Structure 1
Amino acid sequence: MVLLAAAGALVVLVVLGIIMFFNITGSTSNKARGLAEDFTDLVIAGDTAKAYREYLDPALQEQLSKEQFMTGLGTLKLDGACEPAFSDFTVGNGQGEDVKRADVTGFITCGERKIDLSYRFEGADQLRMTSITLRPAD
């Protein structure tokens, strides 16, 4: 009887652990999806200053000036006809146990042109963009 109760308690703990794991990774994935969509919508709409200010991590802003960011995006000639499509969201842990990481890949289609996109978001309390690639597809 004691062994049966212990086995039952172990099963409950395993199930709770699995549920917690999926809630944490699902939450991070949903946050990253929302961030990626909102950021990309701002970039397509031409509100690059706001995208830079609100989404890029300060460390990335030190590497990439606002002017470089805006000039680079300007070369892509994005407009209201462009449509994003996200193909992959990979969630994991970043540097440190409390830091979450989400990698987002996909593309933006602008008529006949296609632009590859790749973003990385990291953070403990708030996910911020730590890496970005937007370039014409080959």
Structure 2
Amino acid sequence: MRNNTGYFGHRGWALGWGLGCSIGASLAWPERPVLAMLGEGAAMYGIQGLWSAARYRIPVTFVICNNAQYQILKIGARGLALPQAAAGRFEGLDLDVPEIDFVGLAKSLGVEAHRVTEPDELAERVRDSLLNRRLCLFDVPISRTPQSRLNYG
């Protein structure tokens, strides 16, 4: 990448690649701050990467958008008109009983972590983490309201 900004993303169904990709981006371009925006379900596919980031002091700021469910998979099931989805049954796709304690999990892997519920506080904490090149995770609860489809703008 020639400029000083960059964005990595995809529009497919590859759950779980974001956490590792963000760590790799930080290793590839150590002079650039890295902000990773992840859903909690996708983060769980590669959560052990937090340990590696802590072990090797890789500065990435993670924001976990936490609606306590694999909502993307529910949307897919509805889109495919699966009988379980039509009946409102999504076995194994709710992550609320028990709810994952991302702050405790991240801390146990050596990562500074905070649960943040206010937008202004999140903006301030993310800005500080990026400016000071810290490894940090922010668990941000978001609405559980079901979406009927993906909206890419």
TM-score normalised to structure 1 length = 0.25
Q: TM-score, normalised by structure 2?
A: 0.23
Higher strand share: 1
Higher helix content, 1 or 2? 1
Identify which of structures 1 and 2 has the higher relative contact order when contacts are C-alpha pairs closer than 8 Å and 6+ apart: 2
Which protein shows a greater Rg?
A: 1
